[in-house]
Amino acid sequence: MTGDGTRCVHAGQPAGVPGGPVPPQPVLTSQFHLGGPDFYGRAANPTWQALESAIGDLDGGECVVYASGMAAVSSVLRTVLRTGDTVVLPADGYFLIRSYVRDHLEVTVREVPTAARWTEDMVSGARLVLLETPSNPGLDVCDIAAVSALAHRAGALVAVDNTTATPLGQRPLELGADITLASDTKALSGHSDVLLGHVSTADVSLIDRLRAERTVSGAIPGPFEAWLAHRGLGTLDLRLARQAENAAAVYEVLRAHPRVRWVRWPGSPHDPSYAVASRQMRRFGGVVSFELESAAAAEKFVASARWVSAMTSFGGLHSNADRRAQWGDPVGEGLLRFSCGCEDADDLVADVLAALEQG
């Protein structure tokens, strides 16, 4: 198999044609002359298809792209679940998924912490088990292969939110999951200029149902956004390498600082999730979570930093920190999800230390 960098640069790209553009340009039309595979912009678009080919290659399945990460996960939930079904959700995963299920679907919800000791009772009678590993924002990890085997014995499908890891960091389909999905607004696109999501699966019947559901629900991405994401994907390997380098350096600084109550990054041997993460993850990302003594302390840290901005996404070029309790996550008031960008590690570490000293 070719390397990650080569795959990212060339994934979804057609063979070069003399005089043709490099890379292919977005197809913006909403209408097509009838008679070919594309006929209307809500059903198909060549720019989506190029991106789907690229992501599907990295995920190891067929891919469907959506207007956002929430559009992707909600499409899976609507397609797989029926009234009265039971769905297992991560108690510590992205909070809007739990809110969506409770408010919009007539199903039974069973919440399980990511790092729980998974048992048959947790998945018994479930139609779908949704995992998020590493979890957002706490960065706990579960054993995808073990949970998938447990769920399959109970007759459940397994979907993995792979946003934090990305397809380069983790391949859930190879670990036994039925579905992998992500918010590509984050690291995959990587430049904080697009909203996008995707779902990949090796199940041909399911992928057809997902595409049909996307067409009738209208949860489609714009072709320009898909083109931006494909362009950003080309540097994913490079960006992840720098972000992980920065995360390792920032983690060590935070771990040693007396103001930090706790810090998590699955890429460190000191992290409680490292044993499982190192078995199933191919590489680690740039997100670190840590807690200061209060909401005011967390907010002052961000305000004092030069290179770290207050933003509520992650995985981009610019380092940012988000106090997650302000959005409804059931976490400590001083918890910060710290997304390391592509700045120089020495500059970022110095900035973190200076911001901590301001408290």
Q: Are 236 and 188 in contact (CB under 8 A)?
A: yes
Residue pointed to by tokens 């397994």: 158
**What are the residue ranges spanned by the domains of the chain?**
4-233, 236-357
Q: Give me the helix-helix angle, 95-104 and 69-80, nearest 10°.
A: 40
Neighbours of 289 (CB within 10 A): 26
Handedness of CA 343, 347, 349, 354 (dihedral sign): negative
Cα–Cα distance measured from residue 186 to residue 221, given in angstroms and rounded to the nearest whole number: 15
Q: CATH says 4-233 is which class? A: alpha beta
Neighbours of 115 (CB within 10 A): 19
Long-range CB pairs of 242-245 (<8 Å, 24+ gap) are 242/286, 242/342, 243/187, 243/285, 243/286, 243/315, 243/339, 243/340, 243/341, 243/342, 244/283, 244/284, 244/285, 244/286, 244/340, 245/345
CA angle 71, 144, 54 (to 5 degrees): 50
Q: Are 76 and 181 in contact (CB under 8 A)?
A: yes
Q: CATH says 236-357 is which class? A: alpha beta
Give the global pTM.
Answer: 0.97
Instruction: Per residue of the chain (359 residues), give pLDDT as tens.
Output: 799 999 999 999 988 889 888 888 999 999 999 999 999 999 999 999 999 999 999 999 999 999 999 999 999 999 999 999 999 999 999 999 999 999 999 999 999 999 999 999 999 999 999 999 999 999 999 999 999 999 999 999 999 999 999 999 999 999 999 999 999 999 999 999 999 999 999 999 999 999 999 999 999 999 999 999 999 999 999 999 999 999 999 999 999 999 999 999 999 999 999 999 999 999 999 999 999 999 999 999 999 999 999 999 999 999 999 999 999 899 999 999 999 999 999 999 999 999 999 86
